[in-house]
Amino acid sequence: MPNDFSHTFFFVNNKLLWSPKTQSFITKGRRVQLASIGGKHIGQVVKGHMEILNDPARGDAMTFYIVSPNGDWYYFSYQNGFLKTVSSNPDYNNAISSLKSKDRRVKTENGKWIELVIGSPGEYSSFKNKASAAHN
């Protein structure tokens, strides 16, 4: 896979439409096209939603969730250097929760820091409901 495509999550051909309800760009429908994860080719259309939010007060945000073929969901929300994540997979949540504080911070190629934070299932549910209602 070309280096340009070896990002942690690489999505393709996902149409995000402006939603007056959410004041954000959000996918319509309940599926997203996932090309790769961590440089590993996936090439699948999976259940999920994506949102890009421009929030001058709190900072821009990108939030998405995907559902794996076995039914586990994974939620991610990035804003102001914090990446919040949670899943229905307890092993995933335990892996994130058990990280030492120093290991939750990662320096990016551009010299900025990202801190990994465990989210809650309620945040996933709220986002899923918001995304589902955005274009109704």
Can you read off the two tokens belonging to residue 92?
A: 């995933």
Question: pTM of the predicted model, to two decimals?
Answer: 0.85
**The total number of residues written for the chain in this structure:** 136
Taking Cα atoms as reference points, which of 110, 133, 132, 113 lies closest to residue 30? Answer: 132
Parse the chain into domains and list their residue ranges: 3-133
Q: Is 8 exposed, middle or buried (0-12, 13-18, 19+ CB in 10 A)?
A: exposed
Per residue in 39-92, pLDDT (tens digit) is: 777 777 778 898 989 987 888 999 999 898 899 999 999 999 999 999 999 999
Per residue in 103-126, pLDDT (tens digit) is: 999 888 888 889 999 999 999 999
Q: What pLDDT does residue 39 have?
A: 76
Q: How far apart are CA 78 and CA 87, in angstroms?
A: 15
